[in-house]
Amino acid sequence: MLRMLKPNAIILHKTRPQVGQEIQACIGCNECILACPAVAEPITIDMLNRETLSGSISAPIARFARACYQCGACVAPCPVGLHRDAMMLWLKVRLLSMGAEE
Amino acid sequence: MNNESDKKIVPGQQKGKPTHDQADIVIIGNGIAGLTAAVEARRLAPEKRIVIVTDQIHPTINTPALKQFAIAKLTREQLLAYPAGTERAERIHVVSSRVTEIHAQSKYVTLSNKRGFGYESLLIATGSTPQGLPENIPGRNFDGVLTLHRLQDYLDLRRRLGEVNEAIVIGGGVHAIETVMGLLYWGIRTHWLIRGKTFMGRVLDDPASEIVLNNVRRAGAIVHLETEVAGIIGRVGAVAGAITNQQEMIPCQIVLSCTGTRAATSLARSCTVPMMHKNGIMVDDKLRTSVRGIYAAGDVAALKNPQTGNYEPRAQWYAAVAQGRIAGSMMVGHSELAMQPFGVPWHATHLGELSMLTVGEPISSDPRLTTLTDTSQGGYRRMSILEDRLVGYLSLGSSQPDSLAIKRLIDEAVSIKDVTRSLLKGQFDSRSYLSNQRSHAARNMLLLNQPAAPLKREEATPTRKLPNTGELRQVAAQSQTNYVAASHPNHQLNEPQTDQLAPMAVMPFDIDEINPFSGNLPDVSFSGLDGTGLYSQGKFMQPRPGPATPPPMQPQPRSGLINGRTEQKATPNKKEASYKLWAYVNAEPEDNTGRRQNIHEGERY
Ligand code: SF4
Ligand code: SF4
């Protein structure tokens, strides 16, 4: 029982289902990428969204995920109020897990 | 979105006489609802023959992003909603044609090129058509009078922008205001003609409308309220100005009509079995039309609004995606994945500097509702509350609140007692709110040695009602009984209600989801990568071992869930992780040992 007292860290970001839901709400307007200081090559939202959720991660998206430093600049411009930073975090988690497996 | 005005008839692939093909699933329209349904159906049924019939000349695009496209913030390639080639990769056969008739008894459709398709299930996802200017307006055919709806319209607009100095935008909705903002962004002097006295009278109250209009005026637009176009004047075939019903002449080079859309229901009329339709094709919450084997999704489908009880189309992106997924699973017989209620209407957008969010029924005039408003920080927020639950939320301000979390508060009828103030002040932080709820629950369990207080008092049945303005009393009574039960110390009321009310068909909301920052990263393998619980495409047509879909969701004691977590933390290994992940998908009621073995999908994200 006591184990439950262990602080289970603060929930800083969205959970996976929430990220999935956010991606479905994404209208693909590209505002987040326009605001992002880290993106260095053309990235399309369709690829980014798709690969954040599942499947293999292509090289440009992986580079972008590594470049993202969670600055949060992408959140304010989103017209739908989505959290690209949280999505990127999940992409990173996936990237790490995939890398670990290879 | 695929509209009837797209009368492009592409020559048939088959020459000559009528031919008949058979497909398992025929989808009419390759808008986002249609393609999402096709992809979802393919994911669940790798062997079915899926055909999309469309007369749209381009692949599925992010239609809400068209306004960014119009002002050249996006390239055409960036509009794609699915990566190019998705249809081929998913073996979805796309036929460029138009469906002329549905023969519902013998289950086939006829196409304009004399081809026919037999179907097992049919999805109508024909989208909407713009209303455009009234037929009798003189001059509506001059060059420069555009109805903004399709990609072609926006391509047209984009080409013209360079030579336009003054523009007229007609319409009183979100589409119009977004167009106005886009034109202002280009430095075009913009007149905005609104028929009503206020902006979006059905969604915004007067102060909110005033804030929006002032914001637009500040941005440079000239707003004409209670004004309509009486005629358009042209010079040598092109628009030179417009005359309003106020006898005013406004010079301009372009007239843009954004007067709303109608569901493209003509197919419902050309169905051999009468199909119920009014503002759209009427469907139940599993998207079934009144004709067996036929479904409708997207802008064309009229769903029951859980709050008002009216059938109305939800011409929104998010709704279309969600409906596409559900239609896809329904058509391949996975009705258990379509358990998710669509919840209340929701719209979030940016209007220049201003963020606007409306969820549910913020301006319902029902006397039993409490309305709170707040104007701090230059914004405006209005909440409609029933008892301790949110019924509607309206927010205008410099930043967008966590819109999906607020929608969730309404959809799941969570008590907002503790967050009323922060909601009202626009400082609602869903993350800390939900983690607080959790820590309270845990503390109660430990300190009081009693079941953790449930996150919500609401009954967690799939038929659970939203606060319904028509049935408010009943809901209120229900919540009271539940409250009594919840406060009873020995009552096991701690089912994870959130789990059962999966907001997305296969993406249950669960606050106990593993979290990247929770310190216990899952030790999972990515062997398959495409868990069925995911919005995934590509590379998984081969049948997988193990259960192909999460079994129907059933209640599961919360305490068991928490124990599962704890044990997982204590001894992290793959088996545990897979159990744990499954717990979040909340697949099956577990037995007392709480162990589920040999689950392959559980290892996936
Ligand atoms: S959080 Fe990441 S994706 Fe968002 S703007 Fe910053 S670097 Fe870019
Ligand atoms: S700004 Fe928001 S809606 Fe637009 S592409 Fe980014 S996440 Fe999607």
What residues of chain A, 36 to 95, have a C-beta less than 8 Å from chain B?
44-47, 50, 53-56, 76-83, 89-90, 92-94
Option in A45, A55, A94 nearest B78 (CB): A45
| DSSP class per residue in A24-86 | HH-----HHHHH-SS--S---HHHHHHHHHSS---HHHHHHHHH-----TTTTT-TT---HHH
Q: Which atom of ligand 1 is nearest to A85's Cα? A: 1
User: For residue A66, is pLDDT > 80?
Assistant: yes
DSSP state of B553: P
CA distances B424 to A37, B359, B410, B427, B523, Å, are 33, 14, 15, 8, 41
Those residues whose C-beta lies under 8 Å from the C-beta of residue B480, and which sit 6 or more positions away, are: none
Q: Specify the pLDDT at position B169.
A: 92
**pLDDT, tens only, A2-47:** 444 433 333 456 677 777 888 888 888 888 888 888 888 888 888 8
Chain-chain contact of A29 with B317 (C-beta, under 8 angstroms): no
| DSSP class per residue in B260-272 | -EEE--HHHHTBS
Strands of B342-450, DSSP E: 346-351, 354-360, 370-374, 380-386, 389-397
* A90: helix, strand or coil: helix
Chain-chain contact of B509 with A55 (C-beta, under 8 angstroms): no
Q: Specify the pLDDT at position B13.
A: 45
Q: Is residue A21 part of a domain?
A: no
Q: Specify the pLDDT at position B413.
A: 75
Q: Is residue A4 part of a domain?
A: no
CA of B181 to the centre of ligand 1 (A): 26
For B392-430, b/e burial (b = at least 16 CB within 10 A) is bbbbbbeebbbbbbbbbbbbbbbbbeebbeebbebebeb
Which ligand sits closest to the CA of A70?
1
Q: Specify the pLDDT at position B56.
A: 86
Q: In sequence order, what are the beta bridge partners of B95? A: B53
Decide if the complex's ipTM is over 0.85. Answer: no
Option in B80, B537, B569 nearest A55 (CB): B537
End-to-end CA distance of chain B: 31
Domain residues for the domain of A80 are 34-102
- Residue B53's identity, in one-letter code, is V
The two most distant CA atoms of chain A are separated, in Å, by 50
Instruction: State if residue A27 touches ligand 2 by the CB under 6 angstroms criterion.
Output: yes
Instruction: State if residue A47 touches ligand 2 by the CB under 6 angstroms criterion.
Output: no
Instruction: Determine contact, residues B325/B505, Cβ cutoff 8 Å.
Output: yes
| DSSP class per residue in B328-368 | HHHHTT-GGGG-----S-EEEEEETTEEEEEEE-TT---TT
Which ligand sits closest to the CA of A76?
2
Q: Is residue A38 part of a domain?
A: yes
Query: Probe ligand 1: pick from A70, A83, A87, max atoms within 8 Å of CB?
Result: A70
Residues of B within 8 A of A55 (CB-CB) are 529-530, 536-539
Q: Please give the structure tokens belonging to residue B311.
A: 């059938």
Domain total of chain A: 1
**pLDDT, tens only, B463-499:** 334 444 433 333 333 333 333 333 344 333 333 333 3
Option in A8, A29, A50 nearest B68 (CB): A29
Q: By C-alpha distance, which of B368, B379, B341, B545 is closest to B474?
A: B368
Option in B80, B355, B570 nearest A46 (CB): B80
CA dist B61 and B50 (Å) reads 20
Q: By C-alpha distance, which of B527, B604, B520, B496 is closest to B568?
A: B520
Q: Specify the pLDDT at position B575.
A: 36
Option in A27, A31, A93 nearest B317 (CB): A27
Radius of gyration of chain A, Cα coordinates, nearest whole angstrom: 15
d(CA B277, nearest CA chain A) in Å: 27
Q: In sequence order, what are the beta bridge partners of B394? A: B358, B382
Q: Which atom of ligand 1 is nearest to A38's Cα? A: 7
CA of A67 to the centre of ligand 1 (A): 8
Residues of A within 8 A of B65 (CB-CB) are 27-30
In percent, the amount of chain A with pLDDT more than 90 equals 0
Residue whose Cα lies nearest atom 8 of ligand 2: it is A26
Q: By C-alpha distance, which of B133, B386, B339 is closest to B239?
A: B133
Residues of A within 8 A of B534 (CB-CB) are 20, 53-54
Chain-chain contact of A13 with B445 (C-beta, under 8 angstroms): no
Which ligand sits closest to the CA of A64?
1
Count of other CB atoms within 10 angstroms of residue B447: 8
Chain-chain contact of A44 with B80 (C-beta, under 8 angstroms): yes
Helix segments in B457-593, DSSP class H: 472-487, 497-500, 558-570, 574-585
Residue ranges of chain B with per-residue pLDDT less than 70: 1-19, 338-341, 422, 426-605
Q: Specify the pLDDT at position B459.
A: 36
User: CA angle, corner B397, sides to B396 and B401, nearest 5?
Assistant: 85
Q: By C-alpha distance, which of B460, B506, B199, B459 is closest to B336?
A: B506
Domain with CATH 3.50.50.60 in chain B: 20-129+263-338, 145-259
Phi and psi, residue B448, nearest 5° = -95, 0
Residue whose Cα lies nearest atom 1 of ligand 1: it is A70
Q: Which atom of ligand 2 is nearest to A87's Cα? A: 7
Q: Specify the pLDDT at position B245.
A: 87
**pLDDT, tens only, B180-225:** 888 888 888 999 998 888 888 777 888 888 888 888 888 888 988 8
Option in A9, A17, A54 nearest B509 (CB): A17
CA of B37 to the centre of ligand 2 (A): 22
Residue whose Cα lies nearest atom 3 of ligand 2: it is A26
d(CA B587, nearest CA chain A) in Å: 15
Q: Which atom of ligand 2 is nearest to A81's Cα? A: 2
Instruction: Determine contact, residues B22/B49, Cβ cutoff 8 Å.
Output: yes
Instruction: State if residue A31 touches ligand 2 by the CB under 6 angstroms criterion.
Output: yes
Q: Specify the pLDDT at position A100.
A: 57
Tell how far CA B263 is from the center of its chain. Answer: 16
Residue whose Cα lies nearest atom 2 of ligand 1: it is A68
Q: By C-alpha distance, which of B426, B436, B430 is closest to B404?
A: B430
Fold entry, domain B20-129+263-338: FAD/NAD(P)-binding domain (3.50.50)
Q: Is residue A91 part of a domain?
A: yes
Fold entry, domain B145-259: FAD/NAD(P)-binding domain (3.50.50)
Chain-chain contact of A81 with B357 (C-beta, under 8 angstroms): yes
Ligand 1 pocket, CB under 6 A: A 35-36, 38, 68-74, 84-85, 88
